Amino acid sequence: MQALAEAYKTKLEALGTEIQESDELQAYLEEEEEEQYMQLKEMFEPRIGMVYDEVAGAHPLQLIALETLLLQPEFEGLYLPKILGFTVLRGEVDDARMKYTRTQEHFKEVLMAICNSANFDLLRKRIGQSIQMGFALSSDIWVTNLINEVDNKRVRYFLQGQKLDRYRVLEERVKGYQRYQRQFQSENFMSAEFPQALSDLKTLYSPLKRFLLYRVDGNYDNSSIIPHLRSFVENKAFKGHREHLEVLVLYASFFELEGDDLDHLRKHFNEVRKSMDDFQEQYLEYLLELHLKEEVIIDPDADKRISSVMDHKIKDDLSKYYDLLDEVHSKGYTTDEAQEAVKAFYTQYQGLSNINECLRQTIYGYFHRLISNLEETDYPELFEISKLYPVYMNIFANQQFNQQLKELSLEYVGKLLKKYTDKRGKDYQDIKKFVTTTFQDLGFLKEKEVVEMFKTRRKRKKTS
């Protein structure tokens, strides 16, 4: 946990003082009515939220320290229900069991602060779902021990009531967790701890990787994380471990570096590249894993960043791969020169090798970015870009690549048919003609499937 910067600490302490001196709090203490507490909430929670968002955006490693400060009594439990939800979702979950891989002590810390708050009776109305999910993802023994630490019998009964039997079923935990996640889709609350010693690398790495992927996917200001990444990549004890390699890939791909930071990464990246026996194999394996993640985009900019870090004087497969990508990205994947270069490279390796898989995903990425961003009115661009399909389908001769192009194209055509419903209209007829000819030629659809796609659906007669 990184300490909270003095500027943020000062802001929050000033807010705490303001809360204690406010007329809203005095009114609540005198009348003890929910309406008065809600006025206090409406007055101060947005202001706490502004500080929280600022820290989360620019200094995410300080979030736990910020949340811990807000547990102090002078904040009257404000913003804690939201923080409790954040602690539930931060925990790493084992997908197979749908249980936390490690106990969530910060969840416990926030929950106990709420339970011991003088305003518990009001806060409890906003925390039920968070407790239910947090308990469902935790072990029964851990939950039981937590509840037994609560002295107040009434609070203890409340907590016991949040252990729902339906969440004992794996399928229900999965559904519940997915529903719960959707409530926080627009929130930025992820944080992590960077391991300092080899003994911490295995236990802290998985949440750290999740955090880094979250940050690069959200396009946040990550400048405050760079010093910690520098320390991580130069740690001699970590070098040669898969976790270290993966951080090198993420750091090189997604962080905008220059000057000393870029030179520092170059030094350690290429040092590990030369000293680690299976570096190329593990590198390409992880790169392919990133290509296949929906939340990660390995675009030309990411490739160019890595290429700028990599020492091309080292004559290995990675140098050849990034020399090719530099050519494809500079000349354009639509050019004959790039296509010939791809073909020449591709034939040097086995079709299902990781290096060829990464190359296919790179080319598919071009098609995906173009077609997925087309508006319905831009459909003539699909007609044009589809002329390139046979070129790369012939180069790769890979059924999965063909299937990806098919699904991508059919998804867009589905959008077109929802917009252009006039079967006599020029747009509809152009689309029908294109699909009928091109999709059959490409093997995307059979004649019967095309007929079914454009068949006029008869409306059912209403029965009296």
Q: Between these two residues, 294 and 112, which has the higher pLDDT value?
A: 112
Residue 460 in this model has a pLDDT that exceeds 80: no
Contact 305, 252 (CB under 8 A): yes
Residue 457 in this model has a pLDDT that exceeds 80: no
What is this structure's pTM?
A: 0.90
Q: What is the mean pLDDT of the chain?
A: 95
Mean pLDDT score, 301-323: 96
Residue 463 in this model has a pLDDT that exceeds 70: no
pLDDT, residue 295, reads: 85
The residue count for the chain: 464
Burial classification of residue 224, based on how many CB atoms lie within 10 Å of its CB (0-12 exposed, 13-18 middle, 19 or more buried): middle
Residue 459 in this model has a pLDDT that exceeds 70: no
Neighbours of 88 (CB within 10 A): 27
Query: pLDDT tens across 56-65, in order?
Result: 999 999 999 9
H or E stretch including 273? helix 259-275
Contact 438, 406 (CB under 8 A): no
Contact 366, 333 (CB under 8 A): yes
Amino acid at 246: E
40-74 in b/e burial notation, b at 16+ Cβ within 10 A?
bbebbbebbeebbeebbeebbbbbbbbbbebbeee
pLDDT, residue 343, reads: 97
Query: pLDDT tens across 372-393, in order?
Result: 999 999 999 999 999 999 999 9
Contact 357, 347 (CB under 8 A): no
pLDDT, residue 294, reads: 87
Residues in a beta bridge with 93: 100
Mean pLDDT score, 431-441: 96
Contact 23, 186 (CB under 8 A): no
Residue 46 in this model has a pLDDT that exceeds 90: yes
